[in-house]
Structure 1
Amino acid sequence: MAEATLRSSSVHGPSGSPRVLEDKFSDNVVRKAPSTALYFPNFLSEAEANLLWKQVYAAPKPKWTQLSARRLQQWGGIPQEKGMVLEKLPSWLQQVADRLSAIDLFETVRPNHVLVNEYEAGQGIMPHTDGPLYYPVVCTVNLGSHTLLDFTPRRSASDDSEENGGGCGGCMKHVDGDGNFSLLLEPCSLSVVAADLYTDYLHGIAERAQDDLQGMTVCNLDMCSSSVRNQEDPIVLQRSTRLSLTIRHVLKTVRLPLRLGLSR
């Protein structure tokens, strides 16, 4: 069977601000969410998702970083306050980045960094914000298992935190009560978080092996596949291995000077 290649969209036009994003992608707006969230339930075909899955696991072993509750790969460089030393994305990830650029999800900038997270059933990540190093749009491509991405309002606007692939030591405490909600991320889907939802909410994944949706506020449930929507209560979904491709634009980058000739 011939290898699949990622298809490219022919949709073009301005975007970036919450209003423009919501107008441009009106069919994909999560209208029950309190701020700008988009959900594309079938962003990838099954063949495309399988190809990306194989490429992730074909990466050299040193590319993986093992954390306490998950492992990850970083592509494009290591984001830092002083600036990310820019590295070229591999072609299989550049195709995904180009596809997002083609539909103008990142406005005038282009995605230059991809964080690949692997979650086994029962693994998750503490509530956090992505921080000020990035353009305030984050796109997540979901491979393998589903998950629930949980949102909660930030306790204080002065509390700043960044989940930069190196753990969550600076993750903020969240407030309990009103304002908490979740997005169900299905296999092959794309989720987009922008504007106030990026800056004013924490997001995280609870550490559990299954998700019981009864009594939960899942804002995009009506946009999910019929196999989920048509289940009788209680809806209980079993997790398995999941890969997330978190695609962002790092605002400050640096390039190493090109040195010609041999050192003496």
Structure 2
Amino acid sequence: MPEGDTVWQAARRLHRGLAGRTLVRSDLRVPRLATVDLAGRTVIDVIARGKHLLTRFSGGLTLHSHLQMDGSWKVYAPGQRWSGGPGHQIRAVLATDDTTAVGYRLPVLELLRTADEDHVVGHLGPDLLGPDWDAGEALRRLLADPSRPVGSALLDQRNLAGIGNVYMAELCFLARFTPWTPVGDLPSPERLLGAARRLLEANREWPDRTTTGPAVRSRSTERLYVYGRAGRSCLICGTPIRTASESHGWTGRERPTYWCPRCQRGPGPAGR
């Protein structure tokens, strides 16, 4: 599932390509929106809210989309070949005179009144990349259940919005605690939130995400400390990175979790 910085970049591309322009064509290829025609409406703006995208139109309408695991929005100039996937994977087309935005493999696509956006994003915690980021409120939500493993607490978008599996693993490594450490056992949880904010802000302008510091990058090409590096040497201590398949509280949504058993203190996954 895309991280908050990836969704922020998608919103910026869509905003730059569509905002202030009038649609000359719209094609929403999901059954309940198949008869909707947005042509003639002006795109007001496109914003990211956590991992959600909100495309706002004149007349008080918003197109809500979520990328989940493999969805994407591509923006094309006139005559440019569409390359985001086969035609049957296209779920949305929004075209102006000089830009066409194409949504591929979008598992969530719905049209609602702009005044009702809270119905789809109102449950989210403070947005790490939002203008209204509230570290105090995010900390309050994170600590509401002190016994909850920090990994699942960070992934819960109701606590704070924008962290996915990559940042969860990297933040736990930087904090030197395993993802299964209870939130209440963290000595300085506010520092964890500060690091989360800094990492997403530092990466939102770049397509190649990196969490490793200058000292590591001076001697290695690795961009991440633990994520995706199972069996390879820890960049700090040399111990092989370990991985486990974890649901982090969501049944049926197992995902790989990475950690260094030497650098990170705390419990391991259940049964280990």
After TM superposition, the score normalised by the length of structure 1 is 0.26
Determine which structure has the larger strand proportion and give its number: 1
Q: Give 1 or 2 for the bigger CA radius of gyration.
A: 2
Determine which structure has the larger helix proportion and give its number: 2
Where relative contact order (Cα < 8 A, 6+ residues apart) is larger, the structure is 1
